[in-house]
Amino acid sequence: MIDIKNKWALITGASRGVGRQVAGAMAQKGCNLILHSRKKANTDAIKAELSSFDIKILQVEAELSDIPRVKALAAEVETLSGGLDILYNNAAIMTPYNNDIYTAVEDEYILSFKVNTIAPIVLCNAIIPAMIKRGFGRVVNVTSGIKDEPQLMAYAASKAALDKYVYDMTPHLKDTGVLMNLMDPGWLRTDLGGPNAPNAVESVIPGALVPVLLNDGTCGKFFHAQDYRE
């Protein structure tokens, strides 16, 4: 496992759910944090909660369906951190459950792909080249194990496209010091997962940190956080 003390991480969607758990776990390891949500005020509570740790905590805001804003966010976090070490692409939206699987849902596909696929890819494409120049980086793209649920196809397809990005970019990261992987948190009781999910949100730790702490060169792997439950 690598030491992430004094490194800088951006966690998108850090205000609640998985992102909030990841932020807490990284703070415990001494990592400086840039907490993202749509409004800075949304990360005030987690920032206050983590204030006892000897780390720097900054807040940024961006609506991830606004792609020009995402590009600006990438530049902003590079400047704020002086060079990001860890990019944790966690934020996502889930489209409504469509019982009629043949309903025309163009708008849902467009929104899902903007927030869940294009925004994380824009952040990767902006930040990974700088990580390569510096010879170090850890990128985690949060995906989903969802399958055989056409009622949520806009969400599922947006995550599948993100998986494809990671798999096909992997050979280009060989020997760069940058490792990019996928992390499926499992079905959790969060705002996105809903109250009927079998797992508490806390169960995502320690698994969600495994692709951050890698020191064995693993890249392009699909990690299941629930496999690491203690």
Ligand X SMILES: NC(=O)c1ccc[n+]([C@@H]2O[C@H](COP(=O)([O-])OP(=O)(O)OC[C@H]3O[C@@H](n4cnc5c(N)ncnc54)[C@H](OP(=O)(O)O)[C@@H]3O)[C@@H](O)[C@H]2O)c1
Interface with ligand X (CB under 6 A), residue from 2, 24, 42, 213: 42
Minimum CB distance to ligand X, residue 65 (Å): 5
Is residue 15 at the binding interface for ligand X, with CB under 6 A as the rule? yes
Output the 3-class SS for the chain.
CCCCCCCEEEECCCCCHHHHHHHHHHHHCCCEEEEEECCHHHHHHHHHHCCCCCCCEEEEECCCCCHHHHHHHHHHHHHHHCCCCEEEECCCCCCCCCCCCCCCCHHHHHHHHHHHHHHHHHHHHHHHHHHHHHCCEEEEEECCCCCCCHHHHHHHHHHHHHHHHHHHHHHHHCCCCEEEEEEECCCECCCCCCCCCCECHHHHCCHHHCCCCCCCCCCCCEEEHHHHCC
Interface with ligand X (CB under 6 A), residue from 19, 137, 207, 211: 19
Site for ligand X in 62-101 (CB under 6 A): 63-65, 90-93
- Nearest residue by C-beta to ligand X? 17
Is residue 139 at the binding interface for ligand X, with CB under 6 A as the rule? no
Interface with ligand X (CB under 6 A), residue total: 30
Minimum CB distance to ligand X, residue 103 (Å): 21
List residues binding ligand X (CB under 6 A).
13-19, 37-39, 42, 63-65, 90-93, 115, 142, 144, 184-185, 187-188, 190-193, 197
